[in-house]
Amino acid sequence: MKQFFKFVLASMVGFIITSAVLFIIFIFLIAGLISAGSDKTVEVEPNSVLQMSFSYAIPERTPNNPLSGLSFLGIDGEKTLGLNDILANIKKAKTDANIKGIFLDESYMASGEATTEEIRNALVDFKTSGKFIIAYSEIYTQGFYYLASVADKIYVNPKGIFLFHGFNSEVTFLKGALDKLGIEAQIIKVGTYKSAVEPYFLTKMSPANRLQVNSYLGSLYDHFLTGISASRHISKDSLFNIANELKVRFPEDALKYKLIDGLKYKDEVLNELKESAGIGQKQDLKNIPLAEYNNNIPKKDNDDKKKAPKNSIAIIYASGEINGGDGDESSIGSERISKALRQVRLDDKVKAVVLRVNSPGGSSLASDVIWREVMLTKKVKPIIVSMGDLAASGGYYISCAADSIIAEPNTITGSIGIFAILPNMQKFFNNKLGITFDGVKTGKYADLGNISRPLTPEEKAILQSQVNHGYDDFTKAVADGRHKTQAYINSIGQGRVWTGAQAVKLGLVDRLGNINDAIQSAAKKAKIKHYNLVSYPEQKSFLNKFGLGLNAEIKTHLLKSELGDNFKYYEQIKGVTQMMRTPQARIPYDIVIN
């Protein structure tokens, strides 16, 4: 027995030592990868071409991840740049003598309309330098073509695909699936157009929802055609007719209707790039990918603490769905954003605030918590909202108290409304699983919200009253912030979705513009000319999010790889569980423009 315990103890010690050694080796491996993938300063050779390719959903700011750009643990090896750095690189390239032009290469623009708009406008500004932009792809999606339409030359592979057919937006309805499972979605909502709940109790769009989708989709499409018309010098009517009749079915059709400038294979485009950059045909093209060029941007003088001005403008990034708690880079946690707002409000060096909102909304309570902090900040210093792809429902709630709201023409906003979904899973439990429930309670409403039975009429009336109260608070907050009557806000509210261009006419947005316009507006209101830009909330370091954060990132990547285009359905079903029970100020479903 004594020998047995010695053996067990020795085994345990050996296991602990082995585990410790393996852990240390793993840490060194991670450190080595971080070192290998660390951002090293990149020298740009004369006569270089900046190569830009977008095949990922562009976040608002570049993730703080030293492993980005490396293939490791199932994580995509592609370097992800945020919109902030993409815009900064284009601006830098405009005056960089070593950069002769930009090559837009094989992109499909997985991001929203407003993000594409910001990059497109930056490219338009780049062209004022007299430098060239050449675009090429084997497959042109409408999103990439809208971006590429500003190029001096647009080429497509002779055997490629050119999509130009107009916009469509499709909703996935889950009622049939819920019926088969014996699950009833009990809906409590305010707003004729608050259609986020429709997929759970209807099998097709309601007339009101069809009306609003036609309206905002038409506004987005009109802006799309207007931009291409101005760049390609083709009338909007002609463009509409080309798309409506599907006149572009082969690449040569796109050339015939002057949507592109030629049919070329990539080697021919590369030769033209050499010629445009002043490089001999026998020499290698000096193209520098955007992610590498990002490491060439030198620090600005005002980034040096010794030279930095005392005045700062804080940019607070609020991206993703709104929920309670801390959130992360892809979601808005009311605690994290509120803390950032308090931080800049109490910092005397911060003279103005830009709240960058890119959100479909979420929890109405969490939205109200953030709204309160925006209100308090406004009393102390100027706060300007810059809207990204989405600033709808809860995303609009947290925006409405600002001094001024600036949006892109194709920002999706509005959706002023509240809803709640409570599942009745009685038939599912009883008929599908054979499970029944019984119990006792000390009060009539002690089990209010129990999903194992349907709501009583009295309970439904109580929940409806609570949702009505939330809608009243929402419309009052908007009315106060926008200096309108509550009756007027109710008339344009009701959950209806608007584009940025429509919202300006309605008074929900002050003017059209990008994040740089918002920064300039904040500086003007604060009466400062020289300032330093500081970003909030502070991005977590790689080691801080190495555990759960990295684990979640790996799981998400693997699911995306496995499910492909069907990943959106997984996310929609997953989102149902997050919307249950808690009143939501959220945009109707996930708007995807095809």
Active site residues: 194, 393
| Residue type for position 224 | F
Tokens at 366, concatenated = 């969490």
Q: How far apart are CA 422 and CA 320, in angstroms?
A: 23
Q: How far apart are CA 520 and CA 408, in angstroms?
A: 15
Residue 495: exposed, middle, or buried by beta-carbon count in 10 A (0-12, 13-18, 19+)? buried
Q: How far apart are CA 544 and CA 308, in angstroms?
A: 29
Residue 191: exposed, middle, or buried by beta-carbon count in 10 A (0-12, 13-18, 19+)? buried
3-state SS, residue 476: helix
Q: How far apart are CA 80 and CA 55, in angstroms?
A: 10
Of the candidates 229, 296, 289, 291, the residue with the CA atom closest to the CA atom of residue 102:
289
Q: CB-based contacts of 259: which residues, under 8 Å, 6+ apart?
A: 145, 154, 162, 164, 232, 234, 242, 248
Residue appearing with tokens 């014996």: 182
Locate the DSSP E strands across 30-183. 48-52, 99-105, 132-140, 153-162
Instruction: Supply the Cα-derived Rg of the chain in whole angstroms.
Output: 27
Q: CB-based contacts of 435: which residues, under 8 Å, 6+ apart?
A: 429
Q: How far apart are CA 537 and CA 343, in angstroms?
A: 9
Residue appearing with tokens 């080796």: 25
- H helix or E strand, kind and range, residue 231: helix 207-232
CA dihedral 532, 535, 536, 539 (to 10 degrees): -140
Q: How far apart are CA 140 and CA 370, in angstroms?
A: 40
Of the candidates 511, 519, 500, 509, the residue with the CA atom closest to the CA atom of residue 482:
509
- Structural contact between residues 78 and 69, judged by C-beta atoms closer than 8 angstroms: yes
Residue appearing with tokens 């600005």: 300
- H helix or E strand, kind and range, residue 255: helix 251-256
